[in-house]
């Protein structure tokens, strides 16, 4: 907040396609789709119209117990139909953070219901990001998110982000009869855009199966076309016990998230009387107007082929950014899994000048690109799926200009 107070705010006023404008009329190419979410881009008035029409009809009602609304029930069925597990059920939230809170409680409740109440430990990965609510902050893999907030939820453990062997060793050390679940982003997003090593995701799923550990895939960033399929799990051939979603389900036009669960986790809640009432939910779970917006958003994704576009962007983004790899401030480009990439500012330079990446992002604004710094100093690239090849060249040119400016200042 001190930095914002010193430099002032950037006030955005409108958006169209892959661009946004500030209140002074300056145009920016959006390199990040907001916060990974604007899959269908900006200015989609039909989404606004669908939400408004639902608000005039029935804007919302509590979805506790046996009460639902038609757009909400239909959306649950629609998501179940594209989910990577058969006969999936959906629990709606207001966003990714609530989805993580929900699924942590759900997996622990599951083990209690099946007679193994000691299985409470949640294992996550270094550099992982799972939102910043209570449980999310407790299992986030970067310590910077935990500084100064006091005691966090217990019963958690963290393993190396890229090693199946590390997960196997942690389960052995903790004991499988105490481990509830392993939480895994297909692509570590906010932690730096770290792509999974070949075979990693299949290996950790196998380890979880071998030890009876629930396998939870956090698809908040990857879902709804971002990686060239409806979910990363579909593309890779995973069948998680549960997955979380948010962001791309509405492209951010209204807040919505949720948890998708497979048959294994459903059974003790629905097939026996032992569960009783599971006393968990949120005021806006299943919000009717949000569900109406989600339907139109998904209609656009389907009509305009944006799932396939996510796969095309895998190569186009890499091609557009390739010239930046030779820049003196850049140590690495990370891409190759859908419409997600990172331009890594050299860690050796960041060690001496920790604010370098932040200055590059601020400099990019002067060159017409709006971006964001990731954990580790990488520059986030996750544009709207409607971005064109010409737009990508604009993005790369703007970043090149910002890098050149920063390099000149660094040498002066």
pLDDT in tens, 306-353: 999 999 999 999 999 999 999 999 999 999 999 999 999 999 999 999
Contact 230, 224 (CB under 8 A): yes
Residue 2 has pLDDT above 90, yes or no: no
Residue 278 has pLDDT above 90, yes or no: no
Tell me the C-alpha distance between 79 and 260, whole Å: 8
pTM of the complete model: 0.95
Which option is the CATH number for 2-30+305-411: 3.10.180.10, 3.90.1150.10, 3.10.20.600, 3.30.70.270?
3.90.1150.10
SS3 content of the chain, % helix, strand, coil (to 5): 45, 15, 40
Tell me the C-alpha distance between 230 and 249, whole Å: 10
Report strand pairing: 19-22 vs 369-370.
Answer: unpaired
Handedness of CA 262, 264, 266, 270 (dihedral sign): positive
The residues spanned by each domain of the chain are: 2-30+305-411, 45-303
pLDDT band at 272 (very low <50, low <70, confident <90, very high): confident
Tell me the C-alpha distance between 146 and 135, whole Å: 11
CA-wise closest residue to 296 among 9, 40, 16: 40
pLDDT tens string 345-395: 999 999 999 999 999 999 999 999 999 999 999 999 999 999 999 999 999
Q: Can you read off the two tokens belonging to residue 256?
A: 């919505």
Mean local confidence (pLDDT), 257-276: 90
CA-wise closest residue to 83 among 290, 226, 189, 229: 229
Contact 249, 301 (CB under 8 A): no
pLDDT tens string 204-248: 999 999 999 999 999 999 999 999 999 999 999 999 999 999 999
Q: Can you read off the two tokens belonging to residue 68?
A: 């639902």
CATH number attached to the domain at 45-303:
3.40.640.10
> What Å distances lie between residue 275 and 1, 48, 111, 254, 339, CA to CA?
45, 39, 11, 32, 41
CA-wise closest residue to 124 among 35, 257, 218: 218
Mean local confidence (pLDDT), 29-47: 98
Mean local confidence (pLDDT), 132-143: 91
Tell me the C-alpha distance between 145 and 132, whole Å: 8
Confidence (pLDDT) at 37 = 98
pLDDT band at 61 (very low <50, low <70, confident <90, very high): very high
Percentage, residues of the chain above pLDDT 90: 92
pLDDT band at 50 (very low <50, low <70, confident <90, very high): very high
**Cα of 176 vs its chain's centroid, Å:** 28
């Amino acid at each position: 907040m001190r930095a914002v107070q010193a430099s002032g705010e950037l006030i955005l006023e409108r958006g169209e396609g892959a661009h946004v404008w500030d209140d002074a009329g300056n145009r920016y190419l959006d390199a990040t789709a907001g916060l990974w979410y604007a899959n269908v881009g900006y200015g989609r008035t039909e989404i606004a119209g669908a939400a408004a029409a639902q608000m005039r009809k029935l804007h919302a009602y509590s979805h506790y117990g046996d009460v639902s609304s038609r757009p909400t029930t239909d959306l649950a069925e629609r998501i179940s139909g594209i989910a990577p597990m058969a006969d999936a059920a959906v629990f709606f939230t207001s966003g990714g953070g609530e989805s993580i809170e929900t699924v942590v409680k759900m997996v622990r409740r599951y083990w209690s219901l099946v007679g193994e109440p000691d299985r409470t430990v949640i294992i996550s990965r270094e550099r992982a990001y799972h939102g910043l609510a209570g449980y999310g902050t407790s299992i986030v893999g970067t310590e910077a998110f935990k500084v100064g907030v006091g005691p966090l939820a217990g019963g958690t453990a963290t393993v190396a982000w890229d090693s199946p062997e590390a997960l196997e060793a942690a389960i052995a050390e903790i004991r499988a009869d105490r481990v509830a679940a392993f939480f895994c982003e297909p692509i570590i997003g906010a932690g730096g855009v770290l792509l999974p090593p070949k075979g990693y995701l299949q290996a950790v799923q196998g380890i979880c199966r071998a030890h009876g550990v629930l396998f939870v895939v956090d698809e908040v960033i990857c879902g709804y076309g971002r990686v060239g399929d409806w979910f990363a799990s579909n593309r890779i051939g995973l069948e998680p016990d549960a997955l979380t979603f948010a962001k791309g389900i509405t492209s951010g036009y209204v807040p919505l998230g949720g948890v998708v669960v497979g048959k294994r986790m459903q059974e003790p809640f629905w097939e026996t009387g032992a569960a009783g009432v599971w006393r968990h939910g949120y005021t806006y779970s299943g919000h009717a107007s949000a569900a109406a917006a989600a339907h139109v958003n998904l209609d656009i994704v389907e009509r305009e082929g944006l799932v396939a576009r996510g796969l095309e962007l895998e190569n186009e983004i890499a091609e557009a950014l390739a010239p930046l790899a030779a820049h003196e401030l850049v140590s690495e480009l990370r891409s190759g899994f859908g419409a997600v990439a990172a331009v890594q500012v050299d860690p050796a330079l960041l060690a001496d000048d920790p604010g370098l990446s932040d200055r590059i992002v601020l400099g990019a604004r002067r060159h017409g690109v709006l971006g964001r710094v990731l954990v580790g100093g990488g520059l986030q690239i996750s544009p709207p799926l409607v971005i064109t090849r010409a737009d990508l060249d604009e993005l790369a040119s703007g970043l090149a200009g910002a890098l050149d400016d920063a390099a000149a200042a660094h040498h002066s």
